[in-house]
Structure 1
């Protein structure tokens, strides 16, 4: 089979395609023939070596897949050969075949487009779980999301509308119309102070802030909360410099991230009226678990999946139902072959407002 390999951390140019043996599923695993593998910012952070729990090279990136079960390992009882499934692999997805734990695979209706479905696995599941598992949003509440025109931001706005939330989103001026079409008040992060604007629009702040940027933004996001508000920090975009590792920026970014995380965590402890939590789709935990724990490095091709596979299956199942009912609309920006994985990574930043990139073996 063909798979993409990262031999050493770096920019998109480190991605190369190799020939390898087709893996055999172990006990409790199924082998999946990949129909679509999502390309995400998380993959770029893995490739650059800036993601918590990143495996040591050589490894195959690829956080999410949709495919067809073509072999069952010993002790598998739920799935069958020819079932179409989706899985959160964490890494290993850029390949023609991947072995995943049966418990972490989610059945997918055959009539759905695999490239559209792969857009749900990481992006929309992240958005859904932050809203409903972490922040526990309620109809009528107000929410601010940073990066509202990005892939997670768009998913949050779509799901936030369905949840009956009043929405605000930071974005570049060029994306204002797109954000407003999704029902949110757009705030230009380059020319407007989002904290002052939120206070001006709401009077006392918002109920929820979803912050995928981290750093100093998290401190201002905390200050944008009203009494009873919840801040969910789920990213550290500043760690990645234009898709490539900047060692100075990487070191400074981690120092800033940990420093501001500790500061905001302390504020959360000292101010019982407002809560602070971090979120990682791979390790969904109780809301007061603060610093994410580095993921394990298994010897097998794929990485560890969600800590609670039942929640993952339930939540992705809800999203598949919403997709079938045409209530959410994951957009596929482009479909590329495995051989163009490096090009896909180069396109990541420019494609953020256009939709999901999918590798199609």
Structure 2
């Protein structure tokens, strides 16, 4: 093993940000057959990481201690036997769900995504989870055309701002719920903000659309919110749920969420009103359609390289400040996305 000191962020127990600790390793991991060692340049942070930290993410079976970090962008630092498609110096990215908060890691060469050279690392990592999530819902889950109207909840967050910029690229009319502090950001991305704390968004959408509704609603809030979002959907439109934010904040119970799923994936689909419903999870969709995931990530990376996309990076923080970043995310105080600089 190659000797060098490097750091990663370890989750010592499920719970609050205080359980995120800096761990210093003495030896670099050696790639096995079919693997590459990656020097991680940036790691994304966001609401999903906080859900994993709390032990509430259904896709994670690991028990602490383990390294947190849903997605990363980096450079190949070493290759194992049998790897011929990648070499040291190549830029790569992936979305392993855990493991990204680290200066070095091992990854399967066949799974990771090759990236164009010349990308700004803090912007590039935004393409992996946040932008691919939004892009796939806009293009794979819904059949939208220029001029269609959509409603995005949590529009000022990491995925929300990705929705807004991509929707502008696709020539859609966008309404976004957000706290008042994030309205300027929402407007700057071409959307009409709605203050969910002081305004009934159902009534506001009806007013803004002359009672017609929107062609799609993207709702990460949870089962308690989905019925209200459903009321905003126009005939032949679609409601897509993709999270349960209020469960993790304690504002919604598990029974309420399950009842929401029963309506989203069952009862509403039986209604003869022309409206569709569904739930999106990026990991389960990737496992079913890996070729589409790779294609979509590479499309977004190319758009970034061409200057078509400008992610709303709120801050770039050193890896060691991961716990402080999680405190900001928990407080809902991040407009856009905070990125960790893993080599700082």
Q: Give yes or no for TM over 0.5.
A: yes
Q: Which of 310, 327, 330 lines up with 1:346 in the alignment?
A: 327
User: What secondary structure is seen at the aligned counterpart in 1 of 2:133?
Assistant: helix
Question: Per the alignment, do residues 177 and 339 of structure 1 end up closer, same or farther by CA in structure 2, a change over 3 Å counting?
Answer: closer
Separation in 1 of the partners of 2:89 and 2:146?
40
Q: Which of 36, 39, 42 lines up with 1:30 in the alignment?
A: 36
Quote the residue 2:17 is aligned against. Answer: 12
Q: Is the 8 A contact 2:116 2:302 kept in 1?
A: no
User: What secondary structure is seen at the aligned counterpart in 2 of 1:17?
Assistant: strand
User: What secondary structure is seen at the aligned counterpart in 1 of 2:48?
Assistant: helix
User: What secondary structure is seen at the aligned counterpart in 1 of 2:299?
Assistant: helix
Separation in 2 of the partners of 1:14 and 1:184?
37
Provide runs of 4+ in structure 1 moved above 6 Å. Answer: none
Q: Are 1:95 and 2:77 matched, yes or no?
A: no
**Displacement of 1:219 after TM fit?**
1.1
The count of corresponding residues between Structure 1 and Structure 2 is: 333
Quote the residue 1:59 is aligned against. Answer: 66
Q: Are 1:282 and 2:283 matched, yes or no?
A: yes
Quote the residue 2:91 is aligned against. Answer: 84
Quote the residue 2:265 is aligned against. Answer: 265
Q: Which of 152, 161, 171 lines up with 2:159 in the alignment?
A: 152
Q: Are 1:218 and 2:226 matched, yes or no?
A: yes
Q: Are 1:170 and 2:171 matched, yes or no?
A: no
After superposition, the C-alpha distances for 1:224-265 in whole angstroms (9 at most, x for unaligned) are 111111111111111333xxxxxxx38x53222111111222
Q: Is the 8 A contact 1:34 1:97 kept in 2?
A: yes
Separation in 1 of the partners of 2:247 and 2:59?
14
Q: After TM superposition, list the pairs within 5 Å mapping 1:237-248 onto structure 2.
A: 237-241=245-249
Separation in 2 of the partners of 1:331 and 1:181?
10
- TM-score with structure 1 length normalisation? 0.87
User: What secondary structure is seen at the aligned counterpart in 2 of 1:238?
Assistant: helix
**Displacement of 1:350 after TM fit?**
5.0
Structure 2 runs not aligned, ≥5 long: 1-5
**Displacement of 1:180 after TM fit?**
2.2
Quote the residue 1:289 is aligned against. Answer: none
Question: Per the alignment, do residues 175 and 334 of structure 1 end up closer, same or farther by CA in structure 2, a change over 3 Å counting?
Answer: closer
Quote the residue 2:199 is aligned against. Answer: 192
User: What secondary structure is seen at the aligned counterpart in 2 of 1:358?
Assistant: strand
User: What secondary structure is seen at the aligned counterpart in 2 of 1:118?
Assistant: helix
Separation in 2 of the partners of 1:105 and 1:338?
22
Separation in 1 of the partners of 2:318 and 2:193?
35
Separation in 1 of the partners of 2:148 and 2:24?
51
Separation in 1 of the partners of 2:46 and 2:52?
10
After superposition, the C-alpha distances for 1:19-42 in whole angstroms (9 at most, x for unaligned) are 344333333322211111111211
- TM-score with structure 2 length normalisation? 0.91
**Displacement of 1:359 after TM fit?**
3.5
Q: Is the 8 A contact 1:94 1:359 kept in 2?
A: no
**Displacement of 1:325 after TM fit?**
2.0
Q: Is the 8 A contact 2:215 2:237 kept in 1?
A: yes
Determine which structure has greater relative contact order: mean sequence separation of CA pairs < 8 Å that are 6+ residues apart, divided by chain length. Answer: 1
Quote the residue 2:313 is aligned against. Answer: 332
Quote the residue 1:50 is aligned against. Answer: 56
Q: Are 1:41 and 2:47 matched, yes or no?
A: yes
**Displacement of 1:171 after TM fit?**
1.4
Question: Per the alignment, do residues 139 and 227 of structure 1 end up closer, same or farther by CA in structure 2, a change over 3 Å counting?
Answer: same
| Farther-moved stretch of structure 1 (7-16 vs 259-268) | 259-268
Q: Is the 8 A contact 1:335 1:360 kept in 2?
A: no
Quote the residue 1:299 is aligned against. Answer: none
